[in-house]
Amino acid sequence: MKRTYHGSCHCGAVAYEADIDLAEGTYKCNCSICTKHRLWQAVVRPEEFRLLKGEHELTDYRFGSRRGLHKFCRTCGIHVFGWYDGELPGGRNHVVRVMTLDDIDISELVSAPKTFTNGRDDDWEHPPAETRHL
C-alpha cells in the first residue's frame, strides 16, 4: 500500500514528499556512482513526487550516457532524488534515495524487497554477479 513519506537532505535545505509502496521493491545498482554513494532507491511516478523546498539548492549531475539525472544538495552534497531521461517501461519515473526518507521505520527498509541492477555493464536485464557490497 502506498504511503506518503517525507524526505530531505542532510542540512535540510531540500525537502520533498513522495507516495511510495515499499512492498513494490527497492533497487540497488552497481554502477560507479551508485556504488560510491551506496545509493538505494525506490521508484515513484512523477505525480507521486513533490518537491516541498529547495529547488534552487539542487545541483544536477550526469555521467556516461547522460540520460540519468542525479539531483543533489549544493550545500551538503546529499543525493536526494533523480530520474532517467530515456525510454523506460511505464514511462519516465523518479527515483527517491530511500535513506533520505525522514519518517521511515528501519524495519520497513529491512523488509522491503531489493532488486540488484547491473548498471556497471549496462545490462539492466540481469543482476550483477556480486551484490554483497551493495
What cell does 95 get? 527515483
pLDDT digits (tens, 9 = 90+) for 30-41: 988 888 888 899
For 33-62, what is each residue's pLDDT tens digit?
A: 888 888 899 999 899 999 999 999 999 998
The 10 Å CB-count burial string (b at 16+, else e) for 44-54 is beeebbeeeeb
pTM: 0.87
Neighbour order of strands in the sheet with 26-29 = 58-61, 68-73, 79-84, 94-97, 40-44, 26-29, 114-117
| pLDDT grade for 24, boundaries at 50, 70 and 90 | very high
Query: Domains of the chain, with CATH numbers?
Result: 3-117 (2.170.150.70)
Predicted local distance difference test score (pLDDT) of residue 122: 81
Q: CA-based Rg of the chain, rounded to a whole angstrom?
A: 14
How confident is the model over 60-71, as pLDDT tens digits? 998 766 667 889
Name the pLDDT band for 28 (thresholds 50, 70, 90): very high
When the pLDDT of each residue in the chain is averaged and rounded to a whole number, the result is 89
